[in-house]
Amino acid sequence: MDPRNIQLHDCEFRPYISEEEIIARITMLAEQLGQDYAHKKPLFLAVLNGSFMFAADLLKRVSIPCEISFIRLSSYQDMSSTGNVKEVLGLTEDIHSRHVVVLEDIVDTGHTVHALLQQLKTHSPASVEVATLLMKPECLQHPLDVKYVAQTIPNDFVVGYGLDYNGLGRNLRDIYKIVS
């Protein structure tokens, strides 16, 4: 095995996106959000578990007044989407008339974001947009308009920087992709 690669459970992963590249992308995203949401006091809604590192690093770089809250959803098993989006921890904030920005680690099929947007819209927010660290456009199965994307990637299974493989890998500073 290449010494730069890592093993998680039964799979080998190789370095893909470095922490420096991730932070550079997030810094640009934070500046864009700061401009678009100046004077709107946005509510960032981070989708746990995967977005915890992205949310923390993004929020540290957003320089306008804002709030953050969390929701926990689950739809992935092993390396694929089940298509069944389970709410593990629900919405605790009143989002009526608020400008909401959903923070996702990765948009793959889009099932998760699609289901969440449907739910959020029933609470009459002033606006809802999605900011994601990663997006796999070729996997999308819903006509989603994801306004803020730090980086698009091909259809590869990735781990690290909050993303896991069956519970492991969330603590990695860089993003790795599976060796096929």
Ligand X SMILES: Nc1nc2c(ncn2[C@@H]2O[C@H](COP(=O)(O)O)[C@@H](O)[C@H]2O)c(=O)[nH]1
**Residues tagged active-site:** 108
**φ/ψ (deg, to 5) at 111:** -55, -45
What residue ranges bind ligand X (CB under 6 A)?
Answer: 50, 75-76, 81, 104-112, 157-159, 163-165
For residue 19, the SS3 value is helix
User: Which is nearer to ligand X, 75 or 151 (by Cβ)?
Assistant: 75
* DSSP-derived pairing of the beta strands 158-159 and 175-178: antiparallel
Cβ atoms of 101 and 116 within 8 Å: the answer is no
> Least Å distance between CB 50 and Mg ion?
4
Instruction: Work out the angle at residue 147's Cα, subtended by the Cα atoms of residues 61 and 154, and round it to the nearest 5 degrees.
Output: 95
161 in Cβ contact with 22 (< 8 Å): yes
Which CB sits closer to Mg ion, 53 or 62?
53
57 vs 105, beta carbon nearer Mg ion: 105
Binder of Mg ion out of 105, 107, 146, 159 (CB under 5 A) = 105
Residue 101 CB, nearest approach to Mg ion (Å): 15
Q: Is 50 in the site for Mg ion (CB under 5 A)?
A: yes
Q: Minimum distance from CB of 51 to Mg ion (Å)?
A: 6
Structure tokens at 148: 């803020």
Binding interface with Mg ion (CB under 5 A) = 50, 105
